[in-house]
Amino acid sequence: MSDKRITLYSALESPYSQRVLLALEEANLPYDVIEFDLADKPSWFKEKVYPTLAQVPYLVYGGPKLQPGESPSPELPQLGESLVILEFLADTFPEARLLPADPFLRAKGRLFSRAVEEKYRPVFLGLFFQQAPKETLYDVVEHIQGLLPPTGFVAGEWSIADTAFLPLYLRTLAILELNHAISQFAPGFAAEVLATLKESPRFARIRKYVEECMARPSAAKTWDPVLVKAKAVRYFELKMTPGN
């Protein structure tokens, strides 16, 4: 293991931040987190840390301990984009086994992550900001479910591919549970969708998969539903305010 410091700029409500946190926990790597609320994003983040996109997660590898508001040295490796950060961690710490050794299983993991990005993520974002038809959500959950092996994790043993979906799905359920006025769900919509996802035999495999992911200590350490829901409401409100 390298003794270089890992600093992660993160927000608890961000599913993409949670992807990286899950991998860091699974790899048992020490890391520093610089955490802020997305609804209250500090201006120094864009000015001094990540001028191009100012999104979380953002990872800095090496260097001295960073304080909020400080610029990481431009000499240091630093990256945004959760799935790219995950690959970087897997390549930098091969002994942490964040990806399986078998190239085909690694490729299956990548296919899964790509399906989550290309198919699930747009539906998730649609649900966040407006009511998507429930069949659209069911179909895409079924599609992701169809990519899972009959038992176990995406690529056999747990791997970074298993961080792709879980944070988005946990927040899908949280948004439905919140049933907050801003999500514009019709009366009864959220309860019906939640009941279907949680009880219908159609989603039995994905439920088991999520249950197994959630049973790992990495999930307990990176998921606080009460806090995430509170922050999500503030984020909704900000995003629905004209000009944001």
Ligand X SMILES: N[C@@H](CCC(=O)N[C@@H](CS)C(=O)NCC(=O)O)C(=O)O
Residues in the site for ligand X, rule: CB under 6 A?
14, 16, 38, 41, 55-57, 80-83
DSSP structure string for 53-87: T--S-EEEESSSPPPTTPPPPTTS-EEE-HHHHHH
Beta carbon nearer to ligand X, 57 or 109 = 57
Q: How far is the CB of 184 from ligand X (least distance, A)?
A: 20
How far apart CA 179 and CA 173 sit, in angstroms, is 10
Which is nearer to ligand X, 17 or 159 (by Cβ)?
Answer: 17
Task: Determine the Cα–Cα distance for residues 219 and 127; give it in Å rounded to an integer.
Answer: 23
By C-beta, is 56 or 132 nearer to ligand X?
Answer: 56
Q: Smallest distance, Å, CB 239 to ligand X?
A: 8
- Nearest residue to the partner ligand X, using Cβ: 55
State the minimum distance, in angstroms, from the CB of residue 75 to ligand X: 23
Between helix 162-178 and helix 103-115 the angle, nearest 10°, is: 30
For 105, other C-beta atoms within 10 Å of its C-beta total 18
Write the single-letter amino acid at 132: A
Cβ 202 to ligand X shortest distance, Å: 28
Q: Which is nearer to ligand X, 41 or 97 (CB)?
A: 41
